[in-house]
Amino acid sequence: MANVITSEQTLELYAPLAGWVLPLGEVPDPVFAGAMAGDGVAIDPTGDSLHAPCDGVIALPGGGTHALTLRARGGDILMHVGIDTVKLAGAGFTLLVRDGQSVHSGQALLKFDLDAIVRAAPSAITPILLANPTASRIVRRQTRRRVAVGDFLLAIAVPAGATGTARALADVALHRHFRVPFDHGLHARPAARVAASIGAFEVQLVLRARGRHGDARSTVALMALGVERGEIVEAEASGKDAVAALDALSRVLEAVDIGARSVSAAQSTTLQQALEPRLLAPAPGSKLSGAIGARGLAVGCAVLLLVAEPEAGEAGGDAQAERSRLRAAIETVTAHLRGLGMAGTAASAGVRQGVLEAHLALLADPQLQRQAQALLADGASAGSAWRQTLREAAATLSQLNDPRMHERRADLLDIERQVLVTLAGGAPGSAALPENAIVLANELLPSQLLSLDASRLSGLCMAEGGATSHVAILAAAMGVPMLVAAGASVLAIKSGTALVLDAESGFLLVDPPVVELTRIHELLATRVHTRVVDDAAAQLPAKTVDGTLIHVYCNLGSAAEAQPAVSRGAEGCGLLRTEFLFLDREREPDLEEQLDVYQSIAHSLAGRPLTIRTLDAGGDKPIAYLPMPREENPALGLRGVRTGQAHPKLLARQLRAMVRVKPPGQVRVLLPMVTDLNEVLEVRRQLQVIAREFGSSVPALGIMIETPAAALLADQLAREVEFFSIGSNDLAQYTLAMDRLHSTLAARLDGLHPAVLRLIELAAQAGSARQIEVGVCGGLASDPEAIPLLLGLGVRELSVVPAMIPRIKSLVRTLTLSACVRLAQETLSLQSAAAVRDRVRLWLQEQAPAPAVE
């Protein structure tokens, strides 16, 4: 079923769910029945899934998963499953799509539990609405009959040139502030009431909250703000009836006396940023939870970093002049990034260089350049051509279920901002920071972090973001504690507020009492001393008190990271992610290029083990030169070792490069995403053939244990490999059925969940039985609270981020293996990751002081 737009510009919508079609007037809710939320029909469902009524782009409003919007050529199509289902708080609803995802007609969008809705909600009747009827109108509709998914439902007449976007604000606007009084915030019905309240006025009115804005006439736009009860919104109105419209709005929302202002529309963003921190500031002593991006503890003062989105500029002017402007801006940003690469400490140089190289590659990307040039030829300004090009690329990556691709999305938005700032006459540069600054931001971009004065930066806390982002990796390499996904309340903290950032336990303490500040300062002083001691002993082996040797290796993502890792005590590389060689380019690296890179890393490691993971790419990490099928669920599709076997020449070239690294025996080959024995046997046969060809020994072969299947079959797999490497991040994701990229679930996705620990134990037992090395290369290996458990479960190799090597080695030297075994067995019977962490923290406090280093 494809969109049908006739010569009369008519868009046909198809039934998104099975059931009985009703006129909108029969919906048992006055907002929907009165068409306050938009015109359309309703369906009393008989099925349990919602599908796309036409092609479009998904927009997920705030307030739960019970409703979603499809942005189509004819306007916004709102589908609201059931009446008053916002009260279910998402229970019984399973989203199958992401915000910003392009979908095709008939594609499944949402699964729901119809029985649960019938029991808990007033009605399961589902309105299907054209939410902006002023732009388009319904000319034909189905009613009072049974439909199946895909049957004709509505026809919408689309005016020529209609875009569904709101008109621009006038040069002068009035501002007032209101508190949202509705129990469940601005969900569909309250949003419709707000929109209806200004319907009779000649006014352009925008509501702003949480750093977002929405047209107050659009129910969908208001829902998308995600505003909850009690939050403050700013109304910005311009036009003939601006005052009257704001008065009408005050009869729906609660007016807040912050003072009306008359400012230019261009100033409104700055005004909002100035006001927002003091509108919803958390009370003194408040504790805001977040996910740990980089471990550590910091105390300092808040610095709110709210960067206004740069203007792209209007279309028009000479195309050649615009090309010259864009080229000059890109050259300026390129030079700035190369300058940043010269800064920083040796410890962070590799990671810093890797991120900057990714940005430089994107700036020079020929496909992005071609697309921008095409838009310039069509009359776009340099800024608008660059923004549209980068946004389209970022939107494509946002649909992919993979952390690396989301890092790339953030990178695209980062270089978009830098080029636009330069086009507007600005210059990339450092933000001024006070001493001991804890920077707060919605989602810090890599270039923003690299531009900060590291000598004054104590910590970072982001409202959004992920623990696998480039910013998190940079922060860890720089030794800067960081929390991510801490929520919008972070942005309401006033600059200068005293903060304690605990990126060990995962919380931000706002304006703590003096006693607590004193305690934290004393603890920090102790940690500084401990860090000095750890660094001094970093080159010594990591042996437990009772004499068990634990190998502490490093994770590497580029050649530049190897030498700094060795200087911090790395005994080898437990995971080289080879994706950096294959992504962000138009042609596959040939055998000689691969060999040169692997050999340079081997030289930097000076004979220490080098574990090279074969390319972990697929539908979730697309490669321009590698034809891959479109995947409905890339995380469960063609990826890891499956991709290599689907493209045997690519895998063979990589294996040949690994076999040729000198000296023989230094390289170990690691296979990702293994699920059965045949995958291993096929690669081993290839390695044997290649080794004979070059007269070399067959490298040690290992597998990643990152799926429950691999853990459960570990006894079979251990017979055919020389080592296991447990990828705790993916193992936790697949075991707990929680997306690593889901901001709401980020804090709950914990590898110390008892279910994950039991799978680790299975793998370790199987490895021990066959006397092969069992290591962990995922996030748990760098988590001090996980170390006693991993050792107790049988892990003898830890591959960690370089910055954590001294600390992890020092910790191992304080542990007694027999006590770790008892602790691990005890935690396997606990009920949650939180309970496990509580038990480990208490256990660590009970341990005797660390013995002197040998």
Among residues 734, 702, 713, 402, the alpha carbon closest in space to that of 574 is found at 702
User: Of 629, 723, 707, 594, which is closest to residue 668 (Cα–Cα)?
Assistant: 723
Alpha helices, H only, 22-134: 30-33, 114-120
Q: Which residues contact 22 (CB under 8 A, 6 or more apart)?
A: 41, 42, 43, 44, 125, 143, 144
161 vs 276: CA distance, rounded Å? 36
How far apart, in whole angstroms, are the C-alpha atoms of residue 781 and residue 791?
10
Report strand pairing: 723-726 vs 773-776: parallel
Phi, psi of 109 (to 5 degrees): -115, -35
User: What is each CA distance from 272 to 126, 233, 239, 258, 472, in whole angstroms?
Assistant: 36, 10, 20, 12, 28
Choosing from 54, 461, 777, 820, the catalytic residue is 777
Give me the residues paired with residue 612 across strands.
Answer: 576, 669
| Pairing mode, strands 152-157 and 39-45 | unpaired
Residue 54 annotated in active site: no
- Using DSSP, state whether 218 is helix, strand or coil: coil
Distance CA 613, CA 654 (A): 10
The active-site residue out of 213, 470, 647, 753 is 470
Q: Return the SS3 of 42.
A: strand
Instruction: At 569, list the tokens.
Output: 């005590």
Ramachandran class of 275: left when φ > 0, alpha when ψ lies in -120 to 50, beta otherwise: alpha
Angle (CA) 484 111 107, round 5°: 95
Taking CA atoms, 791 is separated from 571, 573, 761, 819, in Å, by 18, 19, 10, 10
Alpha carbon distance, N-terminus to C-terminus of the chain: 72
Within a 10 A sphere around the Cβ of 297, how many other Cβ atoms? 17
How far does Cα 645 stand from its chain's mean position?
Answer: 29
The answer to whether 781 touches 801, Cβ cutoff 8 Å, is: no
Distance CA 464, CA 490 (A): 10
Q: Is 406 known to be catalytic?
A: no
Beta pairing class for 19-23 and 39-45: antiparallel
- Residues marked active site are found at 470, 777
